[in-house]
Amino acid sequence: MKDDSFELAGRRYVSRLIVGTGKYRDFAETRAAIEESGAEIVTVAVRRVNITDRNKENLLDYVDPRRYQILPNTAGCYTAEDAVRTCRLAREAGVGELVKLEVIGDQRTLFPDVPATLEAARILVKEGFKVLPYITDDPVACLKLAEIGCAAVMPLAAPIGSGMGIRNPYNLRIILEQATVPVIVDAGVGAASDAAFAMELGCHGLLVNSAIACAHDPIAMARAIRMGVEAGRTAYLAGRIERKLYATASSPLDGLIR
């Protein structure tokens, strides 16, 4: 197969899988799962340093920023202001301009606040950030984010951490048809089949955290999801057959014994 590298915000990547670092048992497991996933981009959260336990280990001692593109998120932010503030701090911490923008609108579903996400994206793009926004699977919101100048759009497939899979493939298809920037499915994947399905639809990439970190064996699930992404991408490029209601025989009718 010819080169199928993935371009995002001006950099080329071999892997189309982005992985999170939340919910692992410890940093050693985090590192091993990332390694097994083959991901080159890794999301992290921005939080206050632990003042009381000064000898606590640091995530970046295990996930080397020289090897991985670190993608700070704004998880937990409910206003555009907080999200922008978090991105500025992340950039100051020295991992570059790439940010995963999330402005949450509701605690129970963790669905994004779309107007606040658009507002934060405008400010961040103006300030030179390369913005990857988490957004509902709404084709209009995705169009607007691309117009603002986001480096990609990241529609959710199902609620964060739900493992419900690709709940609305038709919206994703519409988003993909009109896409001028990469479409990365963010949130909702439960297992390798969901990853493959998203990629078969033509999604350019996939962001997974809980499905790997909370699996019984995270390392094995990291491998499974990596293979799911690769299988789905390959199938997409191969071009699937049309769905037909009735059967079409695979064996010739000529030469049947009578």
Please report how close the Cβ of residue 11 comes to another protein at its closest, in angstroms. Answer: 20
Nearest CB to another protein, comparing residues 21 and 37: 21
Q: Which is nearer to another protein, 47 or 240 (CB)?
A: 47
Shortest approach of another protein to residue 117 CB, angstroms?
A: 17
What DSSP string runs through 166-185? -S-HHHHHHHHHT-SS-BEE
> Of the listed 2, 23, 56, 100, which one is catalytic?
100
Q: What are phi and psi of 41, to 5 degrees?
A: -120, 135
Residue 170 backbone dihedrals phi, psi, to 5 degrees: -70, -40
Q: Which residues contact 138 (CB under 8 A, 6 or more apart)?
A: 114, 155, 171
Please say if 100 is a catalytic residue: yes
Closest to another protein by CB, 7 or 64? 64
Return the structure tokens found at 5.
């590298």
Residue ranges that bind another protein, judged by CB under 8 A: 20-24, 30, 43-49, 51, 54-55, 58-60, 70, 72-73, 75, 85, 88-95, 160-161, 187, 207, 209-210
Min CB(178)–another protein separation in Å: 27
Q: By the 8 A CB rule, do 163 and 187 touch?
A: no
Q: Which two tokens stand for residue 114?
A: 């779309």
> CB 66 → another protein: shortest distance, Å?
11
Comparing CA positions, the residue from 29, 41, 28 lying closest to residue 67 is 41
Evaluate whether 71 touches 79 at the Cβ level (below 8 Å): no
The residue among 105 and 161 lying less far from another protein, judged by its C-beta, is 161
- Catalytic (active-site) positions: 100
